[in-house]
Amino acid sequence: MRPGKAVASFDSATGMLRALSRFLHGRDVPLIGQGPAALEGVLAAVLGAANRLPRPVQEKAYAVSGWAEAVPAHRTGEIRSEELAGWVAGHYPQRRYPVAFIGSSNGALVHLAAAVDAPWLPQTLLLPVRRRGVHPDDPRADLRAAEAAGRALLEANPDLVLHHMHDANQDRLMIAGMTYFRVKWRRLPDAYRRFLQASLAPGATLVVVDCQLRWPTTQVGERHVFQHGALGGATRQEYEHGSPRVADYLRRYGSPYRAWDYPPSDGDSPEAEWGFEPDLLADLSELAERNRWRLVRMRFAEPEDLSPVVADLYRAWYRQRGLPGDRLLVECFLLLEPWWTLRSGSVPYWMVFNTDPSHAGLQAYLDGADARADPFDEIRLMLFSHGVDSVGLVPVEGWRQVLQRARKVGVFTGVDVRAYPRDFASLARAHAELARIRTTYPMPPALDWPSAQEFLALRQELQ
């Protein structure tokens, strides 16, 4: 099976890979990297019309669009991890880089890599797999239905660990007809090895992006775990034991359940989407030593821990270049635009999702800027619409309060507040609105890696 058909296009890792690789090719990211800018107006109009459809029709269309990407369950054994790795590496221009990144998916990391003109190789990819007859609120049934497909995938790929993830809160629409197989490399694939050897000279730096977030899991097989729930608006306790918020959410969606009955967890593992699988370190250490590269680890507890650090790095870099550094661009999930961030002189702050923890983290960052008497004149905010009024979703009014903290201009970017969180046209509209920012600056030369490394070391992000 061709890798481009097996890997989800709607996932964080894929969106970040597209955004960074296009930046390194000198291009922006219209239509989240899946089409030319010339189609944005047409697609925005089509999706905008879809925003006005009845909610059940919208939700069905969203679910079907995801199902169409999913792999038939009987074909998972045809997927080859080496071909997946070659597909990833093939996104990047083949040239010498002073530094390369490998490991956890992270939107702030994409902006760091763009600043220093460096590639990033994800450890984790999402392989969506079709299945039928499973209620979204029945994680036990999802595990049973997909277990054979998981075995076939792992038998064909001994270098992978499978994290079967089921999140009926944030992924409710998608998992109606598919299951989420997130795979992590525990051994370095040859395609990654070849790419790094061709890209890094002796003395270069290889950075391991090590998000240490873990999550309760159920052991299914030697390299196979099941993860119920995920990082976002609901807490781990709510996934495990339910809550009034969960019961209300399930009631609103007409579910026969009032809490989730899931396979009991018997340990914990690196979180399926964001966590780093440490088994990969042995191969990376051996490769770095053999090629005389410096191997460093960028370790952080939560995905968003890196967001204020990279935002401050950009702000300091802009001021060294004589730019004001007072324009904040808040991005969400896979809505990323490294090219227009630099072209508009914006400070990037990335949020995992549109939920309470991300909202609180952004407010805390703005509180810190205010405390330093260093507020932002402009704040632009992009929001990813996942189609669900999920537990922990921050309503539009909460995001308006963020925008009101701008001293001059606080605006949503690409967001139809009447349709959110079912604003599917935002995927086409956000880039077009960024491209209309009036004040722009020449694209700068890359930030030199030693300067970035010194800044990160001071913030205790590198080891």
pLDDT of 44? 57
Q: Per-residue pLDDT tens, the chain, 463 aa: give them.
A: 899 999 999 899 999 999 999 999 999 998 776 666 656 665 656 566 666 667 776 677 667 777 788 999 999 999 999 999 999 999 999 999 999 999 999 999 999 999 999 999 999 999 999 998 999 999 999 999 999 999 999 999 999 999 999 999 999 999 989 999 999 999 999 999 999 999 999 999 999 999 999 999 999 999 999 999 999 999 999 999 999 999 999 999 999 999 999 999 999 999 999 999 999 999 999 999 999 999 999 999 999 999 999 999 999 999 999 999 999 999 999 999 999 999 999 999 999 999 999 999 999 999 999 889 899 999 999 999 999 999 999 999 999 999 999 999 999 999 999 999 998 888 888 888 999 998 899 999 999 999 999 999 988 776 6
So what's the pLDDT on residue 65?
Answer: 72
Which residues, including other chains, have CB under 8 Å from residue 158's CB and lie 6 or more apart? 223
Edge-to-edge strand list for the sheet holding 224-228: 124-130, 178-185, 160-166, 224-228, 214-221, 267-270
Provide the pLDDT for residue 461.
Answer: 72
What does the pLDDT read at residue 39?
Answer: 60
Looking at residue 208, its pLDDT comes to 98
Identify the pLDDT of residue 46. 57
Our measurement of the distance from residue 371's CA atom to the centroid of its chain's CA atoms, rounded to an integer in Å, reads 30
Q: Identify the pLDDT of residue 41.
A: 62
